[in-house]
Amino acid sequence: MKKKPSIQRHETLEQILHRTRETVVADIEKQLGRELDPRKIDVAMDTGDWAALELSEAVDHRILEMRYKTYKEIADAFRRLEAGTYGACERCGEEIPVERLTVEPFARYCVPCLNQIEALEEVEKGDGKSHSF
Ligand SMILES: [Zn+2]
């Protein structure tokens, strides 16, 4: 059974996501050299239509795409927050510590699960060669 996060945790998670979104929007604005209307970003995001942002030719679309991807992840995280699943490990359902989500807002697994997943992936790669670092 997945437990719903406490109200306090919910608020903390919400703050983390808001901060993350602000950083990304500030980044996009810096890229464009002007301030953006967040509603226009939402429109561009939903329709995939960057024309809504009235981009100039000089804008590097690749960098923008990267920011855009992050922005979509944030929107997705907000949806999961509303559903009460954000910040819970997708594998075991344990709550991911706030300290970790602060630095990694899109973390989907707790550290023990992440280690196990990575170990499994190593096995699955299974090319028989031993890796030296
Ligand atoms: Zn886990």
Ligand 1 centroid from CA 76, angstroms? 20
Which CATH architecture describes the domain 7-125? Up-down Bundle (1.20)
Give whole-number Cα distances, 99 to 40, 84, 126, 131, in Å: 32, 18, 34, 32
Eight-class DSSP state of 109: S
Residue 52, SS3? helix
pLDDT band at 133 (very low <50, low <70, confident <90, very high): low
CA–centroid distance, 100 to ligand 1, in Å, is 13
Distance of CA 60 to the CA centre of its chain: 22
pTM of the model as a whole: 0.74
Domain borders along the chain are: 7-125
pLDDT digits (tens, 9 = 90+) for 32-61: 788 877 777 777 767 767 666 766 666 777
Task: Determine the distance separating the centroid of ligand 1 and the alpha carbon of 114, expressed in angstroms.
Answer: 7
